[in-house]
Amino acid sequence: MATQPSNATLNKTVLIVEDELHIIESLRFILQRAGYLVHEVHDGNDAVNSVRAHIPDVIVLDLMLPNKNGFEILKELKSDLALSNTPVLMLTAKGQQQDRANAEQLKVDAFITKPFSNQEVLSCIDHLSKR
Amino acid sequence: MLSANFVLATALIYVLVLFLLAFASDRQSRRGGNRLIRSPLVYTLSLSVYCTSWTFYGAVGSAARNGLEFAAIYLGPTLVFVGWWFFLRKLVRIGHTYRITSIADLISSRFGKSTGLAILVTCIAVISTTPYIALQLKAVTTSFQVVSGISVLSLTDSTIGGTNTALWVAISMALFTILFGTRNLDANEHHPGVVAAIAFEALVKLFAILAVGFFVVFSMAGGINQVFEYPAATVLLYSEQSFSWRWVNLLLLSAIAIICLPRQFQTTVVENSNENHLKTASWAFPLYLFLMSLFVIPIAIAGLSLLPEDANPDMFLLTLPISAGQNSLALLAFIGGFSSATSMVIVANIALSIMISNHIIVPLALKIPLLRLNSRGDIKYLLRTSRRISIGVILFLGYVYYRTSAQSDALASIGLIAFVGVSQFCPAIIAGMFWRNATAKGVTVGMSAGFLLWAYTLFLPSLTGSPDGIIAHFVEQGLWSIEALKPQALFGLTNIDPLVHAVFWSLGTNIFCLIVVSVWSNQSPLEQLQSALFVDVFRNQPGTESRVLQRRATSRDLYWLTQRILGSAQARDLFQQLSDNYTDHHSLDTPDPRFIAHIERHLAGSIGASTARTLVSQIATGETISLEEIINLVDETQQVVEYSHRLEKQSETLKSTARKLTQANEQLQQIDSQKDEFLSQVSHELRTPMTSIRSMAEILLDSNNIADKQRAHFSRIIYEESIRLTRLLDEILEISRLEHGEMDIKHEHLNPEKCISRAIETCLGIAHRGGVSLNCDVPTTTSTMIGDPDRFHQVMINLLTNAINYNTAQNPRVEVSCRISKSYYEVYIQDNGPGIEDRESVFEKFSRGPNESSLYRGSGLGLSISRQLMHKMRGSLELVDDSNCGACFRLKMPLGV
C-alpha cells in the first residue's frame, strides 16, 4: 500500500497522545506518509492544552498514560464546546469489553485495540478527518 | 379514738364485702365468664397471701428492733420469682400434669404415692401452721384493741366489752373458709371466689400501707429527708446486726417459705390456671413486695422518734395515725392488717383442710369396715364434711395456741417458727424434682428428723407461756437437766441465735438423712416410675405411666368409683369425653391401661394421688409394673437429653464450618479478582511491545521505497521489543513460580563483600553508559549472611539498574553501603534521582513511577520479584523512609552464626 499524499489529506492535522515512543514512531511514519501533519504529546496532563494549541482534525488517544488517563482526557475534551467536535480515535492495549463500553459512553468516535493493523488505523483516521 | 363497736362493725362490713365478692366471682366463674379472675394479674395478687399481718404490722416492728433485717423476708421470694424459669416453672408443670392438690400430695405422689408420707407432711403442715394462724388472731385482736383505744395493759385479757375478739375472729374466718373453700367446683382444687377475694385483699392492704406511709412521711415527719434526719434513723440503718448469719438465714427461710408454706403452694401451684402467668408474676410479685416494703423503714423511724418509748413497734402503723388524730386513717390501716390476716387464714385453712381430708380422714374412713366406704357410699360427701370439720378444728387449734403462747412474743418470731417448720419440706421437694434416686425412705427419715428437731429447738421453747412453767424449766435446763440437750444450745452449740441454731440442726439433719438413707435404700417400682415422671416432667407426656403400669378394671367399676368421688354429673361428662378418646382399640367394658391411668389422674385431682391409687387399686386386678419399661423410660429421656446435646454440638460445629467456608469463599473471590486483574495487566503489558512489532513489521512488509537507514531503525526496534517481550514473559513465569512456591532457594553461607562486589561489577557497564557514578563502601567483615548467591545477585542487579536507569539528576550518583545489625546484614542502595512518590505501591506488580521513561521501560515486576525473593531467603526489602533526596532501598539478609 504505497500511499502518496492525496489532496484529501493535505494540511490535515493529527495529534497523537501516547507515551510509548516506539508506537509514536510507527504512527508518525504511517500518517506522515499519508500526508498528515503530525503533532505528539506524551503526558496526560499536557494533552488537552496541546489540543487547544494545535486544533487537530483528529486526535489519536491512548488509554494508559502517565498522570492522567485517556478516559479523563476524553471526558474533558467532550465537555469543552470548542473541542467536542474534534473526532477522537482511542487506541488501547487494554482490550476489555468494559473499556470499550466506557469509551463509547464518553462519546468516543472510534475505538481500536492494540496491536492494530496500520491499514485499519489509517482508514479510520481518513474517515474521521473527512467529517 | 374509735369506739369498739364502730371498729367491729367496720370489720364486719368488710367481711361482708368479701363474701359478696367471692360469691359473685364463683358465680361468674361457673358461667364461664372468668377472664378477669383467671388473669395473670389476679394470680399475682393472690400470691400476696405471703404478706400476712406479720408482714403488715410486724415488718415495721422488726425494722424498729433489728434494722434492715426485715428486708430479707422480701428478698427471698423475690429471688425465687425472678428465677422462676429454673424452679417454679417445673413445679407448676408437675402440679398441672399430675393434678397435685397440695404440698403433701406433691411429696407423697413423687415418692410412690405413699399414704404414710402424705400423713407425715400433713401433720407437719398442720403443726407448723397453727402458730401462724395464732399469730393472725393475735394481730387482729391486738390491732383491734389499739384502734378502739383499749389500754395496752389489758391486752392479755382478751375479753373486752363482753366480746372475746379472737374467738369471734376465728369463727368468722372459719365460716368464710367453709363457705368458699369447700364448694369444690371441679375436680381441680380451684377456688375462683377465694382467689378473687384474696386478690382484692391484696389491693386493700397495699393501699392501706401506702396511705399510712405517705401520711407519716409527708404530713407527720415533713418529708423523706426529715425522716432520715431523726437520730433513730442512724441507729436503725447502721446497726451492726443488720447483715449477719441471721440475715442470711432469713433470706434462705423466706425463699423456701414462698414454695413450702401450704398456703403459698396452694396459690402458686394448685390455683394456677396457666403456666404463663408465672411470667407476669416473675416481675409483678417482686414489685408488689417492693411497694409493700417501701415505707417500712420511714414508718419505723417516725414511730421510734415521735411516739413514747414504751409504744409497741408492731403497732406503729396504727398508733402513728392515732397520735396525729387521724382516726379514719388508723381504721384503714386496721382494715389493711385485717385483710392480711384473713387472707392468710383462709388460704392456709383451705390448703390444710384439703390435706387433712385427702390424706388422713378419707384413707382412715376407708379402713373402717363399719362405714363400708370400700364398696359404696358417697366419698364426695365425706370429703366435703371432713374438710368443713377440719377447718373448724384448725382454727380452734390456732386459737388454743394463741391462748397458750407467750403474749409478750413479738409477731415476727412466731412467723419465723412456722417458716422453719415448713422449710422441712424443702429438701424433699428439691430432691423429688431434680434427684432421680431420692427415695421415700430417705425423705421420710429426713423430714421426720428435721421436724422433731424443729419441735424441740424452736416450737416447744415458744410455749413458755404455759401455766405450769414446765417448758420454761426445760428450755433453761435441758431435757432431764442434761446440758447437751438444752433446746437452744444443742450439743454445746451455744452463743448463736436460736433461729440460726434451729435451722442449722433441723434442716442440716433433714438433708443429711435424706441423702444418706436414699443412697442406702432402694426405690419401689412405683417410686421409680414416679421419679422418672417428675424429674423429666418436661419430656414425658401425661399418660406415659400406662406404658409401665398394666392393670385391668371394668368400666362399670371405674364409673361407680368416679361417681362416688366427683358426683354423677361430672362422672358422666368425664366418661363421655374419655370414651371418645380411648375407644379405638378397646371396648368400654375392658378399658385399656391408658384409660384407667387417666381416670386415676383425674380422681387424684380431687382426693390426692395416694388415696386415688388406693381406690383404683381396689377395683383393678392383675396390676404389674414393668421394671424393664421404667428403665426404658429413663433411658429414653436420657437419650433424648444426650441426643439434643449432641445436636447442639453438631449444629455449633456446622455453624463454625459454615463461617470458615464463607471466609474461604471470600478469600477465593478476592484471589480470583486479583488473578483477573493480573491477567488483564499481563495482557496490557504484552500488547504494548506487540503493537510496535506488528506496526513496524507491516511498514517494512508493505513498503519498498523506504530508506535503508529507516529500515534498519525499524528492524532494530522490532528486535528490542522482542527482547523486551521475552524478558517480560520470563518474569511473569518467575513470579508465578515464586507464588506457587516452586522455586528452589538455597540457604548457604555467603561472603557479603564478595556478593556485593560481583553485583557492582556487573552494573559498572550500564552505569558508565548512563554517565552515572557508582560508588561502593563495603568494609571487609568476618560475618557471613545466609541465602542463595544467584538470587541475591538478581535482586542487587534489579535495584542497581533501577537506580541507574531512572536517575535523572544532573550528576547522577548511586551509592552502596552496609551495616551489621543484631541479626541481619543490611545493604543500602541510595541514589540521588527523583525519588519515589508512591511508596505504598512501589512493590506491587506492574507498578511504575510516573517519570519512568519509555526508553528504559521495565516490566513493572522487578521490585515485586525482588521482594518476594528476599522473603524466601528469610530477609526483607524495604524502601527507607528517611532519604532526603532520591530513593534508598534497604536489603536485609539473615546473618550466619
Choose the weakest-confidence range: B152-166, B188-202, B547-561: B152-166
pLDDT of A43 higher than 60: yes
Contact B512, B562 (CB under 8 A): no
Q: Based on the domain organization, do B317 and B393 belong to the same domain?
A: yes
| B703 with A2: Cβ contact below 8 A | yes
Q: Which has the closest alpha carbon to B354: B148, B526, B106?
A: B106
Domain boundary at B593, B623, B653, which? B623
The pLDDT value recorded for residue B852 is: 54
Q: Does A114 touch chain B (CB under 8 A)?
A: yes
Q: Based on the domain organization, do B695 and B756 belong to the same domain?
A: no
Chain-wide mean pLDDT for chain B? Answer: 82
Given pLDDT bands bounded at 50, 70 and 90, which one contains residue B448?
A: very high
The pLDDT value recorded for residue B476 is: 66
pLDDT of B532 higher than 70: yes
Cis ω on the peptide bond leading into residue A115 (within 30° of 0)? yes
Contact B55, B261 (CB under 8 A): no
Q: What is each CA distance from B385 to B75, B391, B493, B513, in whole angstroms? A: 39, 10, 47, 38
CA dihedral B73, B77, B78, B82 (to 10 degrees): 160
Q: Give chain B positions within 8 Å (CB) of A113.
A: 687
**pLDDT over 70 percentage in chain B:** 87
From B718, which residue of chain A is nearest by alpha-carbon distance? A22
The pLDDT value recorded for residue B161 is: 40
DSSP state of B313: G
Beta partners for residue B776, in sequence order: B816
The pLDDT value recorded for residue B586 is: 52
Residue B878 and residue B875: Cα distance in Å, rounded? 10
Size of interface A-B (CB pairs under 8 A): 75
The string of pLDDT tens digits covering residues B761-770 is: 888 888 888 8
The pLDDT value recorded for residue B157 is: 44
Given pLDDT bands bounded at 50, 70 and 90, which one contains residue B156?
A: very low
Residue B303 and residue B774: Cα distance in Å, rounded? 103
Choose the weakest-confidence range: A21-30, B322-331, B535-544: B535-544
Q: Based on the domain organization, do B619 and B649 belong to the same domain?
A: no
Contact B129, B262 (CB under 8 A): yes
Residue A36 and residue A15: Cα distance in Å, rounded? 10
Cell numbers for B826? 543490611
CA Rg, chain A, in Å? 14
- Candidates B854, B855, B856: best to mutate against A (most CBs of A within 10 A) is B854
The pLDDT value recorded for residue B154 is: 41
Chain-wide mean pLDDT for chain A? Answer: 86
Per-residue pLDDT, averaged over B400-411, amounts to 63
Within a domain: residue B417?
Answer: no
H-type alpha helices, B98-181: 103-110, 115-147, 165-181
The string of pLDDT tens digits covering residues B119-148 is: 999 999 998 888 888 888 888 888 888 887
Within a domain: residue B416?
Answer: no
At position B751, the amino acid (one-letter code) is N
| B695 with A96: Cβ contact below 8 A | no
Residue B707 CB contacts under 8 Å (≥ 6 apart), including other chains: none
The pLDDT value recorded for residue B320 is: 87
Contact B544, B633 (CB under 8 A): yes
Within a domain: residue B428?
Answer: no
3-state helix, strand, coil in chain B (%, to 5): 70, 5, 25
Residue B675 and residue B304: Cα distance in Å, rounded? 87
Q: Based on the domain organization, do B313 and B339 belong to the same domain?
A: yes
Per-residue pLDDT, averaged over B84-111, amounts to 87
Pick from A20, A30, A117: CB nearest B692: A20
Q: Based on the domain organization, do B723 and B756 belong to the same domain?
A: no
| Three-state SS annotation for B18-40 | HHHHHHHHHHHHHCCCCCCCCCH
Q: Give chain B positions within 8 Å (CB) of A93.
A: 683-685, 687-688, 691
Given pLDDT bands bounded at 50, 70 and 90, which one contains residue B601?
A: confident
Q: Based on the domain organization, do B655 and B721 belong to the same domain?
A: yes
- Candidates A18, A21, A22: best to mutate against B (most CBs of B within 10 A) is A22
Cα end-to-end distance, chain B, whole Å: 106
DSSP-derived secondary structure for A27-77: HHHHHHHTT-EEEEE--HHHHHHHHHHH--SEEEEESS-SSS-HHHHHHHH
- CA-based nearest distance A95→chain B, Å: 8
In A, residues 47-106, which contact B (CB 8 Å cutoff)?
Answer: 64, 66-67, 93-96
Q: Based on the domain organization, do B461 and B395 belong to the same domain?
A: no
- CA-based nearest distance A45→chain B, Å: 12
Residue B361 and residue B382: Cα distance in Å, rounded? 9
Cell numbers for B104? 403433701
Cell numbers for B91? 413445679
The pLDDT value recorded for residue B155 is: 40
CA Rg, chain B, in Å? 47
Q: Based on the domain organization, do B323 and B187 belong to the same domain?
A: yes
Q: Please tell me which residue, B233 or A43, carries the higher pLDDT value.
A: A43
Decide: helix, strand or coil at residue B748.
Answer: strand
- CA-based nearest distance A29→chain B, Å: 9
The pLDDT value recorded for residue B162 is: 37
Count of CB atoms situated within 10 Å of the CB of B580: 9
Q: Using CA of residue B20, residue B26, residue B29, residue B35, what is the dihedral sign? A: positive
Cα end-to-end distance, chain A, whole Å: 24
Residue B432 and residue B114: Cα distance in Å, rounded? 13
Q: What is each CA distance from B249 to B61, B96, B255, B507, B827, in whole angstroms? A: 19, 31, 10, 11, 78
Contact B848, B862 (CB under 8 A): no
Where in the sequence is the domain holding B668, given as residue range(s)? Answer: 630-739
Length of chain B: 897
The string of pLDDT tens digits covering residues B270-313 is: 888 888 888 889 899 999 999 998 888 888 888 888 888 777 88
Per-residue pLDDT, averaged over B789-808, amounts to 88
Cell numbers for B749? 553461607
DSSP state of B895: B
| A93 with B691: Cβ contact below 8 A | yes
From B701, which residue of chain A is nearest by alpha-carbon distance? A1
The pLDDT value recorded for residue A2 is: 43
| Residue burial B846-856, b: 16+ Cβ < 10 Å; e: rest | bbbbeebeeee
Q: Based on the domain organization, do B169 and B298 belong to the same domain?
A: yes
- CA-based nearest distance B708→chain A, Å: 15
At position B367, the amino acid (one-letter code) is K
| A26 with B699: Cβ contact below 8 A | yes
CA dihedral B566, B572, B578, B583 (to 10 degrees): 140
Residue B607 and residue B613: Cα distance in Å, rounded? 10
**Domain layout of chain A by residue ranges:** 13-129
Pick from A22, A66, A115: CB nearest B717: A22
Cis ω on the peptide bond leading into residue B593 (within 30° of 0)? no
At position B496, the amino acid (one-letter code) is I
Within a domain: residue B240?
Answer: yes
Residue B76 and residue B286: Cα distance in Å, rounded? 10
Q: Based on the domain organization, do B705 and B764 belong to the same domain?
A: no
Choose the weakest-confidence range: B329-338, B385-394, B591-600, B697-706: B591-600
From A65, which residue of chain B is nearest by alpha-carbon distance? B850
Domain boundary at B488, B521, B554, which? B521
Q: 464518553: which residue's cell?
A: A106
* CATH classification of the domain holding B873: 3.30.565.10
Q: Does A117 touch chain B (CB under 8 A)?
A: yes
- CA-based nearest distance A83→chain B, Å: 27
| A116 with B680: Cβ contact below 8 A | no
Pick from B680, B684, B699: CB nearest A30: B699
The string of pLDDT tens digits covering residues B782-795 is: 888 999 998 999 99
Contact B1, B327 (CB under 8 A): yes
Cell numbers for B106? 406433691
Contact A94, A115 (CB under 8 A): no
Q: Based on the domain organization, do B585 and B661 belong to the same domain?
A: no
Contact B297, B228 (CB under 8 A): no
Per-residue pLDDT, averaged over B554-558, amounts to 80
Within a domain: residue B429?
Answer: no
Q: Give chain A positions within 8 Å (CB) of B858.
A: none
The string of pLDDT tens digits covering residues B234-272 is: 777 776 555 577 788 888 999 998 989 999 998 998 888
Per-residue pLDDT, averaged over B738-747, amounts to 84
Q: Please tell me which residue, B37 or B293, carries the higher pLDDT value.
A: B293
pLDDT of B152 higher than 50: no
Residue B414 and residue B133: Cα distance in Å, rounded? 10
Within a domain: residue B394?
Answer: yes
**Kind of pairing, strands B876-879 and B888-894?**
antiparallel
| Residue burial A34-68, b: 16+ Cβ < 10 Å; e: rest | bbbbbbbbbebebbbebbeeeebbbbbbbbebbeb
Contact B750, B792 (CB under 8 A): yes
CA dihedral A84, A86, A92, A94 (to 10 degrees): 20
* CATH classification of the domain holding B98: 1.20.1730.10
**Kind of pairing, strands B813-820 and B773-777?**
parallel
Domain boundary at B717, B739, B761, which? B739
pLDDT of A7 higher than 60: no
DSSP-derived secondary structure for A69-128: -HHHHHHHHHHSTTTTTS-EEEEES---HHHHHHHHHTT-SEEEESS--HHHHHHHHHHH
The string of pLDDT tens digits covering residues B663-682 is: 999 999 988 888 888 888 88
Cell numbers for B63? 425494722
Element spanning B159, H or E: strand B159-160
Decide: helix, strand or coil at residue B679.
Answer: helix
Q: Using CA of residue B413, residue B416, residue B418, residue B420, what is the dihedral sign? A: negative
Q: Based on the domain organization, do B100 and B213 belong to the same domain?
A: yes
Given pLDDT bands bounded at 50, 70 and 90, which one contains residue B67?
A: confident
Per-residue pLDDT, averaged over B434-460, amounts to 89
pLDDT of B697 higher than 90: yes
User: How far out from the chain centre does Cα B191 lie?
Assistant: 31
| B691 with A66: Cβ contact below 8 A | no
Q: Give chain A positions within 8 Å (CB) of B721.
A: 22
- CA-based nearest distance B689→chain A, Å: 8
Which class is domain A13-129? alpha beta
Choose the weakest-confidence range: B14-23, B314-323, B875-884: B875-884
Choose the weakest-confidence range: B143-157, B176-190, B549-563: B143-157
- CA-based nearest distance B811→chain A, Å: 25
Contact B454, B446 (CB under 8 A): no
pLDDT of B158 higher than 50: no
The pLDDT value recorded for residue A120 is: 93
- Structurally, chain B folds into a number of domains equal to 5
Given pLDDT bands bounded at 50, 70 and 90, which one contains residue B693?
A: very high
